[in-house]
Amino acid sequence: MKTETNISLLPYNTFRMDVKAKIFAEYSSVEELKQLLEQYKGERLLHIGAGSNLLFTKDFDGVVLHSAMRRARALDEDGDTVLIEADNGLVLDELIAQLCDMGLSGMENLSYIPGEVGASAVQNVGAYGVEAKDVIVQVKAVAVADGTERIFTNEECKYGYRDSIFKNELQGKYIITHVVYRLNKRLEPKLDYGNLRSEAGENVSVMSIREAVIRIRQQKLPEVSEIGSAGSFFKNPIVSRTEFEAISNQHREITIPYYEQEGGIKIPAAWLIEQCGWKGKMQGGAQCYPKQPLVLVNANNATPEDVVNLAAEICVDVKKKFGVTISPEVNYI
């Protein structure tokens, strides 16, 4: 167990906000996590993964928890599938690299998403037509209130687009310690999103799909080791068919891109933001990323206020021009 006081959170958030935490504690087992929960009862708690989906807006007057559990194991297998259990602190892409190496299919489209296993199961990360929920069988968690362990089935996690029960009614109530995934021994390629099929080429393998996804991501998205960001800053808004028709009628001069899906019509927030003229624009040290305007970046020593103001102005403009509300996917702390 490692505990530090009054430390800078700069190395612990990919947006690179230089804020402080009163206490930072890292545990190496579920038992240590339970001890920390007992020791810091009553304190404000924040469990972080790689800090790749949050924006610290000020110093954190509480205890930041982080997991140093970073292993994965095969639990069971049948003729077609393998169950893999991963610790919450394992870097998601390290897990995916290992699985692809073993020829196991299901997570290759999620390659190169920043973050750790536990947070990815809270957020239901997704890319190129696959979401974490498609491969998650169950998650194992510890209750913050009394340290009891509980297993949530996939259904009990109430997964939705970048959403789960852990972001809603159980927010702050459980810490996910392990995630169990079901992978396929045979490749079931999912190549229908964007230009993935052409990028992956002929005779695909789990590894060639992983490599194609990484190439596409590297072309469009900032490398978190080089430029601070938290990936997509906003969620893609979903509107009703009636709303979509009303918006299209008001903007007959342009063709609005859209994706039909359960529950309505998804409009790419990147497109809405670009139409409002924000692509590449700066606000203090924060910038709307020129290659993918859904991403806000820390281009030049941005303060939390720079990012918050930029995001707020973008939301106001999108609402004014299209009447559509876009909301942050990133958690403000």
Least Cα distance to 329 among 98, 69, 187, 122 occurs for: 122
Please report, as residue ranges, which positions from 132 to 161 form the binding site for ligand EPU (by CB under 6 A).
none
| C-alpha to C-alpha distance for 269 and 257, rounded to whole angstroms | 10
Q: Work out how close the CB of 247 gets to ligand EPU at its nearest, in angstroms, rounded to a whole number.
A: 15
| Range in contact with ligand EPU (rule: CB under 6 A) among 12-20, 144-152, 173-181, 232-240 | 232-240
Closest distance of CB 143 from ligand EPU, Å: 28
SS3 labels along 126-142: EECCEEHHHCEEEEEEE
- Asked if residue 128 binds ligand EPU (CB under 6 A), the reply is yes
268 scored as a contact of ligand EPU (CB under 6 A): yes
Is 162 labeled as catalytic in the residue annotation? yes
Q: Catalytic residue among 26, 116, 131, 329, which?
A: 329
**By CB under 6 A, residue 232 contacts ligand EPU:** yes
DSSP string, 69-105: ---EEEEEE-SSEEEEEEETTSBHHHHHHHHHHTT-B
Distance CA 197, CA 190 (A): 8
**Closest by Cα among 306, 315, 305, 304 to 269:** 315
Rounded to whole angstroms, how far apart are CA atoms 307 and 302?
7
The dihedrals phi and psi of 87, each to the nearest 5 degrees, come to: -70, 150
Pick one of 95, 141, 270, 276: the residue that binds ligand EPU (CB under 6 A).
270
Q: Which of 84, 141, 294, 326 binds ligand EPU (CB under 6 A)?
A: 294
Q: How far is the CB of 331 from ligand EPU (least distance, A)?
A: 12
Q: Should residue 276 be labelled a site residue for ligand EPU when binding is judged by CB under 6 A?
A: no
**Residues within window 7-66 making contact with ligand EPU, judged by CB under 6 A:** none
Please give the residue ranges that form the binding site for ligand EPU (CB under 6 A).
127-128, 193-194, 220-221, 231-232, 235-236, 257, 268, 270-271, 274, 292-294, 329
**Which residues are known catalytic residues?**
162, 232, 329
